[in-house]
Amino acid sequence: MTRLTPPWLIHPNEILDGALSGPYRTMFATSWTVMNNPLLLELYRRHGKTLAFLGVIVFRTEWTTQHEKDLMAEQAAKLAKMLGAEGALVTWDAGGNEYIEVVHTVRACERLGIKTVFLTSEDNPEGGAPSVLKPLPEADAIVTTGFFNASLLDLGLMPPVERVIGYGTKRAGSVEDATILMRGDVDAKGAIPPPWRYDDHYGFNRLSSFAF
């Protein structure tokens, strides 16, 4: 891969085989969640029955300039159009900067006549701020998976587990707005605080609502 890697068209089986890993710096999506994406599995179930699953387009986000961001969005939409897509389901797995390429992809698809549904978590609406970073008129079919902030839910510690796959200790830092803070090496089997924020980008939870 190079810095100017364009969007890739991949077969859905490649995701099931682990071709895509989780983001390098967030807890929002692990490799397991990418491989077990419920949207991907549901499209597979419906393939040949109620729809034709044409494939998956993936591309990197967090580009430096607006021109690069728009280039990725337009290229992804063009590729979908060349495949003959009539509809698209757009998801993503990070936040902030990365949002721009994604929502601009929704806009680009809609402008090419591809009806697009955008599944996304929301941001904290505190202070009257919009719950999505950049609302666009073309993004008129949105499925929201809500907003999660541990400091607002008073969750307490997550209970101990009997078995841990991986390292026996976890390196914990501190987060200013978390309910519970832990530092140093933490026993992975023991009670640990929940992540201060969790974004469900793929629809695993049962808190979803629809907004049109």
3-class SS of residue 210: strand
3-class SS of residue 138: coil
3-class SS of residue 33: helix
| Distance from C-alpha of 181 to C-alpha of 197, rounded to nearest angstrom | 13
| Distance from C-alpha of 52 to C-alpha of 58, rounded to nearest angstrom | 18
pLDDT in tens, the chain (212 residues): 566 678 999 999 999 998 887 655 555 567 788 888 889 999 999 999 999 999 999 988 888 888 989 999 999 999 999 999 999 999 887 667 788 888 999 999 999 999 999 988 777 666 666 666 677 888 888 888 777 666 666 667 778 888 888 888 776 655 444 444 555 677 778 887 776 666 677 877 765 444 44
> DSSP string of 141-187?
-EEE----BHHHHT--PBPP-S--SS-SEEEE---TT-SS---EEEE
